């Protein structure tokens, strides 16, 4: 196959994705939207295995963090083997690989985290010392703050696997993203949708990232119809926070922004693994300076000791 600059695809593109059921659903959704926007377009979907897919026997937080779910897909983009990548935004590092860019961010789905419990109980009604599964340090420290009695355990596997472990009683409950459950038609499994005031989401949660080569103006133009302005502004503030903190999608950082009139409001929380130390802050600024708002909030948190918490202190 030719280099990135040689292969022009006015009528055919290749989208790269992970092979999970959710990743394929998300990619098919984007492919369908592109076909509707460009009726003559032929779209091929190509599955790419990432490091995150291969690490199944130990917590991901110990695997270096950056790019676990995207690095191999980005390599295919840079090589010109695919034209577009579709990721869950919360899996995308704060800084992209050189030569790549986010060319569209579609409208965000539900940003909240879900409690999926075997009994159907909400978080507050789970038994004393209940076992609650999650792979996320962010969810872990906030869970421990809400219910210090809970036993928070690592719960790996794809969505079906984790739901199965709840049903089998391996854990009493799991904390999962509402967006993924909704997208796969599994909303009936949700026992409670946790308000963001109680469980602040991950940076980019509920949003999709459409990534292409930075110099591919044709792909940027093709994807423009899928971009949602409000989502892109809010996610831009969140990702600027993440990048300025020097954090990754595998560190205990929660960040959520929304637009209120001409302002962007950004909240952040960083916590220790045991939930005993939490830094929380908020910043407000003009939406046109959304990324500056994110960087400013990060600096405020760093001045209060965020670096120690991010390092596991």
For the beta sheet containing 253-260, the strands, ordered from the edge strand earlier in sequence to the opposite edge, are 253-260, 263-271, 278-286
Enclosing H/E stretch for 54: helix 51-54
Question: Three-state DSSP class for 258?
Answer: strand
Enclosing H/E stretch for 308: helix 306-310
Question: Three-state DSSP class for 157?
Answer: coil
Q: Is 91 a catalytic residue?
A: yes
Taking a C-beta distance cutoff of 8 angstroms, is the pair 298, 244 a contact? Answer: yes
- Burial class for 149, CB neighbours closer than 10 Å (0-12, 13-18, 19+): exposed
- Distance of alpha carbon 133 from alpha carbon 149, whole angstroms: 14
> Residue 263: left if φ>0, alpha if ψ -120 to 50, beta else—which one?
beta
- Burial class for 304, CB neighbours closer than 10 Å (0-12, 13-18, 19+): middle
Catalytically annotated residue among 91, 110, 113, 216: 91
- The residues annotated as belonging to the active site are 91
């Amino acid at each position: 196959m030719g280099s990135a600059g040689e292969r022009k695809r006015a009528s055919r593109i290749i989208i790269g994705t992970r092979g999970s059921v959710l990743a394929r659903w998300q990619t098919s959704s984007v492919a369908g939207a592109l076909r509707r926007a460009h009726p003559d377009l032929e779209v091929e979907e190509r599955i790419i295995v990432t490091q995150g897919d291969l690490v199944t026997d130990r917590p991901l937080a110990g695997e270096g963090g950056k790019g676990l779910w995207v690095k191999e897909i980005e390599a295919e983009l840079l090589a010109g083997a695919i034209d577009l990548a579709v990721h869950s935004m919360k899996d995308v590092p704060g800084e992209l690989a050189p030569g790549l860019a986010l060319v569209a961010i579609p409208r965000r789905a539900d940003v909240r985290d879900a409690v999926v419990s075997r009994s159907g109980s909400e978080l507050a009604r789970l038994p004393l010392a209940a076992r609650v599964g999650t792979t996320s340090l962010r969810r872990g420290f906030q869970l421990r703050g809400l219910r210090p009695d809970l036993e928070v355990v690592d719960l790996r596997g794809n969505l079906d696997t984790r739901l199965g472990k709840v049903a089998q009683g391996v854990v009493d409950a799991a904390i999962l993203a509402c967006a993924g459950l909704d997208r796969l038609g599994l909303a009936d499994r949700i026992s409670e949708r946790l308000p963001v005031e109680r469980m602040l989401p991950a940076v980019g949660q509920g949003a999709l990232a459409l990534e292409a080569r930075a110099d591919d103006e044709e792909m940027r133009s093709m994807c423009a119809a899928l971009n949602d302005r409000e989502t892109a502004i809010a996610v831009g503030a969140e990702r600027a926070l993440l990048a300025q903190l020097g954090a990754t999608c595998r560190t205990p950082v929660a960040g959520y922004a929304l637009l209120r009139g001409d302002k962007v409001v950004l909240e952040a929380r960083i916590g220790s693994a045991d939930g005993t130390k939490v830094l929380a802050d908020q910043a407000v600024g003009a939406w046109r300076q959304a990324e500056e708002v994110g960087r400013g909030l990060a600096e405020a948190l760093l001045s209060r000791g965020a670096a120690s918490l991010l390092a596991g202190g």
